[in-house]
């Protein structure tokens, strides 16, 4: 693959919020790729993931897909688990400080991260590291010296910090450590390319690049990926809002959730999640715009492609067949009442609020009878928090679309 084609693929789906910055990163990436080709030395590429929960969702995999693209081009990929950055908590895009997790909880969460990531990355070619490997060895003097490269004004200029200042919401000193720690990850690994979402723009551009330059290294290339919207098509995919597509819940579950996204979100999913080339995506979108392609058919192609990535073609087709049998052959009605999910609601509370059951005791009884389903998947414990939007069904004839 020639360099221009490589750059086109690797820059697909990137967002910098500034055209000049994007042009600069594209130019630097091209230079690194040319140098790599001449020397035969692969680029060192990484992305970090803080184990703040046990499960990964489709939003997490955007950066993994980008790493896989570099991997397929022969570059060295490190899947970095933020065992120490998770102790601080990333303040990016947060209107309040994150709760501080215990080391035990972080280790518990991190146990499943790498294995889930191997649904996207090539396990045999992926390096897995923990940033406690070097961050745990930093002394107070080291931290002071790292801090000399930044000003308080730079931190306070960040949009989320500025909003917290204006509203009187506390900004804790330890939150300013995060970009230093993440920046030092890049220094410790002598990184050529760092991948992250738009919420990581400050940490990558002001953290890693600046520290590398201060320590005599060549500043890394930042590949800033767009943020995937959740199944509601509006808010970013997040477990806290319940609009996620888990990557470990099974092929049928994933297919059904992908078919629930609004048409307006399809372009983002094609560009950020699929293996399609930009020209192929443009052709699909052109067909949608002209009316030569039906949105339902394009969405089914999208769902089939994404499920194939995580579960393989052998499971993607049966997942599609199950969806068609359930939804397109009228097992589920086209028209049904709708209910807007409230934060923190349990399945039991939703069942009662939607009048799908007459009482709490009936809810427990229907669960025991395997008569409660969400997007066709049986639900057995009504006490758990409602997991995600979808079609909630009780028995054979009661349906509510939960948004």
pLDDT tens digits, 17-56: 889 999 999 999 999 999 999 999 999 999 998 877 667 7
pLDDT, position 97: 46
Residue 140's φ and ψ, nearest 5 degrees, are -60, -40
Residues 244/59, Cβ–Cβ less than 8 Å: yes
Residue 317's φ and ψ, nearest 5 degrees, are -65, -45
Q: What is the pTM of this model?
A: 0.70
The whole-angstrom separation of Cα 119 and Cα 250 is 12
As a whole number of Å, the CA-based R_g of the chain is 23
Residues 193/43, Cβ–Cβ less than 8 Å: yes
3-225 has which CATH code?
3.40.50.620
Strands ordered across the beta sheet of 76-81: 126-130, 76-81, 44-49, 193-197, 221-225
The whole-angstrom separation of Cα 263 and Cα 266 is 5
Indicate left, alpha or beta for 166 from its phi (over 0: left) and psi (-120 to 50: alpha). alpha
Query: What confidence tens digit (pLDDT) does each residue in 198-240 have?
Result: 888 888 887 788 899 999 999 999 999 988 998 888 888 877 6
Residues 318/254, Cβ–Cβ less than 8 Å: no
User: Residue written as tokens 């551009």?
Assistant: 205
231-331 has which CATH code?
1.10.240.10
Domain ranges of the chain: 3-225, 231-331, 333-403
The whole-angstrom separation of Cα 191 and Cα 153 is 27
Query: What confidence tens digit (pLDDT) does each residue in 311-325 have?
Result: 999 999 999 988 888
The whole-angstrom separation of Cα 64 and Cα 21 is 22
Mean pLDDT of the chain, nearest integer: 86
Select the highest-mean-pLDDT range: 19-33, 246-260, 361-375, 379-393. 19-33
152 has pLDDT over 70: yes
Lowest mean pLDDT among 31-45, 181-195, 241-255: 241-255
Quick one: average pLDDT of 178-198? Answer: 91
List the alpha helices (DSSP H) in 89-226: 103-110, 113-117, 132-135, 140-147, 152-156, 159-167, 177-189, 201-202, 209-214
Sign of CA dihedral 223, 53, 249, 373: negative
**302 three-state secondary structure:** helix
Token pair for residue 347? 């399945």
Sign of CA dihedral 298, 303, 304, 309: positive
CATH homologous superfamily of domain 333-403? RNA-binding S4 domain (3.10.290.10)
């Amino acid at each position: 693959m020639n360099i221009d084609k490589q750059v086109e693929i690797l820059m697909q789906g990137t967002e910098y919020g500034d055209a000049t910055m994007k042009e600069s990163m594209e130019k630097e990436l091209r230079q690194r790729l040319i140098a790599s080709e001449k020397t035969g030395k692969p680029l060192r590429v990484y992305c970090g993931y803080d184990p703040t929960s046990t499960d990964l969702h489709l939003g997490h995999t955007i950066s993994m897909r980008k790493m896989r693209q570099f991997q397929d081009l022969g570059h060295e990929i490190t899947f970095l688990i933020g065992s120490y950055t998770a102790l601080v908590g990333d303040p990016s895009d947060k209107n309040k400080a994150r709760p501080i997790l215990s080391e035990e909880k972080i280790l518990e969460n991190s146990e499943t991260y790498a294995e889930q990531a191997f649904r996207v990355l090539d396990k045999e070619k992926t390096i897995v590291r923990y940033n406690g490997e070097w961050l745990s060895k930093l002394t107070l003097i080291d931290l002071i010296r790292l801090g000399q490269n930044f000003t308080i004004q730079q931190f306070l200029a960040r949009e989320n910090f500025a909003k917290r200042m204006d509203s009187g919401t506390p900004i804790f000193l330890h939150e300013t450590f995060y970009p230093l720690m993440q920046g030092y990850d890049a220094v410790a690994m002598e990184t050529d390319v760092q991948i992250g979402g738009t919420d990581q723009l400050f940490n990558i551009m002001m953290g890693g690049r600046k520290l590398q330059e201060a320590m005599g290294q060549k500043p890394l290339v930042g590949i800033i990926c767009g943020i995937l919207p959740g199944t509601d098509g509006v808010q970013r995919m997040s477990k806290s809002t319940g609009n996620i597509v888990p990557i470990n819940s099974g092929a049928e579950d994933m297919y059904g959730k992908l078919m629930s996204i609004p048409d307006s979100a399809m372009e983002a999913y094609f560009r950020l999640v699929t293996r399609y080339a930009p020209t192929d995506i443009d052709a699909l979108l052109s067909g949608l715009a002209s009316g030569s392609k039906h949105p339902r058919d394009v969405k089914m192609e999208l769902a089939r492609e994404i499920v194939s990535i995580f579960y393989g073609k052998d499971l993607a087709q049966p997942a599609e067949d199950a969806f068609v049998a359930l939804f397109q052959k009228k097992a589920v009605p086209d028209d049904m009442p709708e209910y807007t999910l409230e934060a923190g609601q349990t399945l039991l509370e939703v069942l009662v609020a939607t009048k799908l059951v007459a009482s709490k005791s009936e809810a427990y009884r229907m669960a025991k009878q395997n008569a409660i389903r969400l997007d066709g998947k049986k639900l057995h414990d009504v006490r758990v928090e409602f997991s995600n939007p979808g079609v909630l069904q009780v028995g054979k004839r009661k349906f509510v679309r939960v948004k």
